[in-house]
Structure 1
């Protein structure tokens, strides 16, 4: 069963969530860097020892990446897009499951959307948030 966030709880959790998201982005960049090195190694005079070393580094970086995803999602949020910087916090609006959504660069939760609608369907939180858990 998911953890449901109120707007206040989501905003209180946001600094920690942002920190975890940034760590995830750094780990993803590390994976991409090692992949690029591995690909360039294949194009040059192929050295099996160097290839094996890079492959082990890539395996380790990918494992760390997935650990970072788990750490982020264990905080109760759902990762929607690393590239676009989108995270959703499960919430309820009356009896309906909804998402409180955050986009990278925002300093607080200001939008929500239905669970079957994506980022383009975001709606601003109303002045009165009593309808959200």
Structure 2
């Protein structure tokens, strides 16, 4: 993880609006993709081809939004749950600042091996 950007809490908070916007778009695209994928089975060959082209376009858009998140230095952990981590450090140890879509702020962190269930509240300065 040392080659990745490490965020201070303030830096992670600054990119959070961008990450939030991209994640919301990504979730909408994913939902649309899955709905259209179910429809695919019911179509004839001509309709299926058109829908497959549309699905490919949705996939390209989704990859773009995911890349927009990761290009900020954030780690996209789960699109469905809206989980994003920000590499950081605390007392010389590498940690991940942890945020979930719907939370107003980044208030939690966890160790590299702990995951979402191991989240701990960030202590105020």
Q: CA RMSD in A?
A: 1.2
Structure 1 gap ranges (5+): 42-46, 129-133
Aligned to 1:16: 18
Aligned to 1:2: 4
State the Cα distance separating 1:30 from its structure 2 match: 2.1
TM-score (norm 2): 0.92
Q: 1:69 aligns with which of 46, 66, 70?
A: 66
Aligned to 1:85: 82
Say yes or no: does 1:39 pair with 2:41: yes
| Count of aligned pairs between the two proteins | 123
Which one has the largest radius of gyration? 1
Matches within 5 A, 1:92-107: 92-107=89-104
Aligned to 1:44: none
Aligned partners of 2:86 and 2:98 also within 8 Å = yes
Deviation track 1:49-72 (CA, whole Å, cap 9, x = no partner) reads: 111111111111112111211111
